[in-house]
C-alpha cells in the first residue's frame, strides 16, 4: 500500500501544478485583452505598426473598380506607380495601394499595402515574405482592425510574385492616365467653355474714361462675338482660379 501511495500523491501534485500553470496563462491573456494590449495578439507575428493610414489616398488615381454582388471595391495608387508599371519598370519604393471595400454602398473595410526598401527584412524568419510589401487593414472609420490576420494578405498575394505581388497589376497597365489629366482640365476649362455668351454685352472702355461712368455705344467700341466670348471666358477663368487659390 505504501508503495502505491507515493506515486498516487505525485500524480495528484503534478495535475494540480499543471492546472495552476494553465490558469496563470489564461489570466495573462485576459489581462492583456482587458488592458487593450493587442500588439501581442497578432497570430501571424507581423509588425502592425509600420503601415500607417494613407491620408488623402483618395486624391490619387482610382485606377479600377470591381463589383462582386453587393460588394464594390475601389483601388487607388499614385500616378508614379502606374507610370512605372506601364513603362515596364519596378514599382517604386514608397508606393501605397489602397483598397476600399463597400458593402451595400457602406464603406466597410480599407486594406493598405505599402512598399518600402528593406521592409521585407522586418518579417519574422518563419513567416512568408512578399518582397518589400507590408499590409494593414483598417475599419471603415479608419481605425486599425486588430482582428484581421494580416498573414492572410501575404498568402493571398504570394502567387503574384511575377507581378511584384500585386493582384491588380493588369488594371494598372490598362488604365488610361490621359483620363486623369482630362478630368482635371474639365474641372476648370470645360464648365467655363460651356457657358453661353451670346446674350452678354462687352465693350472696350477708353483709357481716359472713369470706370464708374456709364458706358454707351458712342463712347465705346463694341467687340465682335468671337473676341467677346474669349474675353468673358478669360475673366471667368481668372475669377475661378482666384477663388480656388483662396
Give the model confidence (pLDDT) of 81-135 as tens digits: 999 999 999 999 999 999 999 999 999 999 999 999 999 888 888 788 899 999 9
What is the reported pLDDT for 219?
Answer: 45
What pLDDT is stored for residue 151 in this prediction? 83
Q: Give Cβ neighbours of residue 83 (< 8 Å, ≥ 6 apart).
A: 177
List of the chain residues with pLDDT < 70 = 1-45, 181-226, 228-230, 233, 235-246
The verdict on 150 and 69 lying in the same domain is: yes
Phi, psi at 11, each rounded to 5°: -65, -40
Counting the structural domains of the chain, the total is 2
Please identify, among 151, 174, 197, the residue that sits at the C-terminal boundary of a domain. 174
Which domain covers residue 200, as residue numbers?
A: 187-245
Mark whether 208 and 164 lie in a shared domain: no
In a domain, 49, yes or no: no
Q: Are residues 237 and 148 in the same domain?
A: no
Asked whether residue 94 falls in the same domain as residue 123, the answer is: yes
Same domain, 138 and 199: no
Look at residue 204 in the predicted model and tell me its pLDDT: 53
Cα–Cα distance list, 219 to 95, 176, 223, 226 (Å): 62, 53, 13, 21
Per-residue pLDDT, 76: 98
Residue 100 and residue 72 share a domain: yes
For residues 193 and 132, state if they share a domain. Answer: no
Distance in angstroms (rounded) separating the CA atoms of residues 25 and 2: 35
At residue 213, the pLDDT reads 47
Q: What is the pLDDT of residue 7?
A: 45
The pLDDT score that the predictor gives to residue 79 is 97
* Residue 162 belongs to a domain: yes
Distance CA 161, CA 163 (A): 5
Amino acid at each position: 500500500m505504501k508503495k502505491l501511495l507515493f506515486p498516487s500523491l505525485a500524480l495528484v501534485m503534478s495535475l494540480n501544478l499543471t492546472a495552476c500553470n494553465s490558469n496563470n496563462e489564461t489570466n495573462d491573456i485576459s489581462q492583456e485583452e482587458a488592458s487593450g494590449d493587442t500588439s501581442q495578439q497578432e497570430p501571424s507575428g507581423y509588425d502592425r505598426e509600420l503601415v500607417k493610414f494613407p491620408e488623402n489616398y483618395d486624391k490619387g488615381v482610382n485606377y479600377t473598380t470591381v463589383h462582386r454582388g453587393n460588394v464594390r471595391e475601389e483601388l487607388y495608387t499614385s500616378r508614379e506607380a502606374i507610370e512605372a508599371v506601364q513603362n515596364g519598370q519596378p514599382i517604386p519604393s514608397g508606393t501605397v495601394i489602397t483598397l476600399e471595400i463597400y458593402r451595400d454602398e457602406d464603406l466597410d473595410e480599407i486594406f493598405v499595402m505599402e512598399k518600402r526598401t528593406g521592409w521585407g527584412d522586418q518579417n519574422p524568419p518563419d513567416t512568408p515574405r512578399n518582397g518589400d510589401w507590408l499590409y494593414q487593414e483598417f475599419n471603415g472609420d479608419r481605425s486599425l482592425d486588430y482582428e484581421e490576420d494580416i498573414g492572410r494578405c501575404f498568402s493571398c498575394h504570394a502567387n503574384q510574385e511575377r507581378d511584384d505581388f500585386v493582384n491588380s497589376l493588369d488594371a494598372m497597365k490598362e488604365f488610361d492616365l490621359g483620363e486623369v489629366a482630362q478630368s482635371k482640365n474639365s474641372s476648370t476649362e470645360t464648365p467655363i467653355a460651356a457657358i453661353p455668351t451670346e446674350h452678354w454685352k462687352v465693350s472696350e472702355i477708353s483709357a481716359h474714361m472713369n470706370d464708374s461712368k456709364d458706358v454707351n455705344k458712342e463712347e465705346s467700341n463694341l467687340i465682335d462675338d468671337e473676341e467677346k466670348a474669349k474675353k468673358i471666358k478669360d475673366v471667368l477663368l481668372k475669377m475661378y482660379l482666384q477663388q480656388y487659390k483662396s
